[in-house]
Every structure is written in structure tokens, then in C-alpha cells.
Amino acid sequence: MSILTDTDLKTLICSDIEWKDRNKIHIYPFSGDCLTPVGYDLRIGNRYSSAFKRGSFEIKEGDQIAICPGDTTLITTLEKVGMPQNRTISALIVSKVSKVSKGLSHISTSIDPDWDGKLLIVIHNHSRETLNLNFAEPFCTVVFFENKSPSTKDCGKPPERSDILLKEWSDVTQKVQRKEWIKSLVPIGIIVIMGGSGYLVFGNQPGFIAMTAIGVGLSQIASLIIKKY
């Protein structure tokens, strides 16, 4: 197994809209600026889904994807990638330092030797700030390898991994939303409990105000703790 460099890829990539030579790597739309010494930078496509949101969203030229702190986002690539049908090449998708340095990193994945279609990339925001990705912006790199032997097993996965983007991820986002909703109620619940207890014990007296103030303080502490989980 050996890594294919830009020298190799220039002769192995078919960049035409029509994939005529099926024993070449098909990348469309292709950009020469995205070719790296040992790979190709994939760009943000027009579809994504977020763990903090519900459903799948479309973007276009001039749009951005806003990834909140702690959010995991599924993004389809702008490029359609077709692996040689002789199954002699496979690939890995790795993070870009320029994105990781800001707090964004993707969960590494592979491209099977018989893959054909757009890719679905998982991105997580480890920072404490909302980070934006622009449509058609390079955000990860695919590194191609020459296989020691051609593969024989089919990947059996649909293009863009629509099974995850539309079905499984929908269940995940609903669970995350329920979790966030419950977390948002905890600080409010603390204030209500402390204030209610203070009123029952002290009535409309200074003790009631003190208990409510304590409840507010505890709710802020709880909010800080909850943000870590």
C-alpha cells in the first residue's frame, strides 16, 4: 500500500462531468487549487444536518453553516467522488490543521474502493465559540492509497449516506433536543423550588427574598455545570 501524491493524482483523476474512464478516480466538480501534495481538499456542499437542530438543511453560494459550541454537524461534500472500478485504490479523510486550530475537527472516515457519490463528513465544534463554514470552502482532505490487492467486498452504502443523514440522524437530533430542553429547565426549576419553599416558610417576608436569591445563585452554578456535559 502506498500514498498517491499530486504527481500520481494528476494522471489518475478524471475531472470531467462524465466519468468516461472508470479505472480513474472521478472528482467533480474538480478544482486544481484543492489538489495537495498528498491528496485533495474536499469542499462544503449544499446540504447539512446538525445535532442541535432538526431535519436536513440546504445552503448555496454565499451561505454559511454555523456550528455551535459542542455541536456535531453532518456535511455533504461539494464534490462527487468515484473510486476506480478496478478497486485498486481506497482513501482516508483527514482533518485540516487550519480548521482544527479553531476548534473544528472531523471524525475520520474511509472511502471504500467501490465508492461512487458525494461524501458525508462529520464535524464537531470543540471550541466555546460558534464557528462558521462557508459554502464551497475546503474543510477536510482526502488521501488516496494504492491497494496491495483489489477489494472484493461491496461497500453497500448509498451516496451521501442518506441512510444516516435523513433517518438515523433524525433520531439523534430529537434525542439531543430533548436533552437540551431538560437541561434548560433545571436552572428554572431550582429558582421555582427555592422561591416556593421560601414563600411557604417565610411568607412575603425578607426570608422569601433571600431564599429566592439563593435559588438564583444556585441556578447559575447549575448552568455552568450543565454546559460541561
DSSP state of 63: -
pLDDT at position 114: 92
pLDDT recorded at residue 183:
63
In contact, 153 and 102? CB cutoff 8 Å: no
Give the residue, 55 or 145, on which the prediction is more confident. 145
Residue pLDDT, tens place only, 81-90: 999 999 999 9
Kindly tell me the sign of the dihedral angle through the C-alpha atoms of 203, 205, 206, 209.
Answer: positive
Query: Residue 216's closest CA among 191, 199, 192, 196?
Result: 191
Residue 203 has what pLDDT?
Answer: 74
DSSP annotation of 33: G
Rounded to whole angstroms, how far apart are CA atoms 212 and 207?
A: 9
Provide mean pLDDT across the span 104-112: 84
Tell me which of 27 and 222 has the higher pLDDT.
27
Give yes or no for residue 208 having a pLDDT over 70: no
- Average pLDDT over the chain, rounded to whole? 83
The predicted pLDDT at position 32 comes to 96
Residue 173 pLDDT > 70:
no
Give the per-residue pLDDT at 15.
96
- The one-letter amino acid code at 15 reads S
Tens digits of residue pLDDT in 131-171: 999 999 999 999 999 999 988 888 766 665 555 555 555 55
**Phi, psi values for residue 72, rounded to 5°:** -115, 125
User: Helix, strand or coil for residue 37?
Assistant: coil
| Percentage of the chain modeled with pLDDT above 70 | 75
Residue 116 confidence (pLDDT) above 80: yes
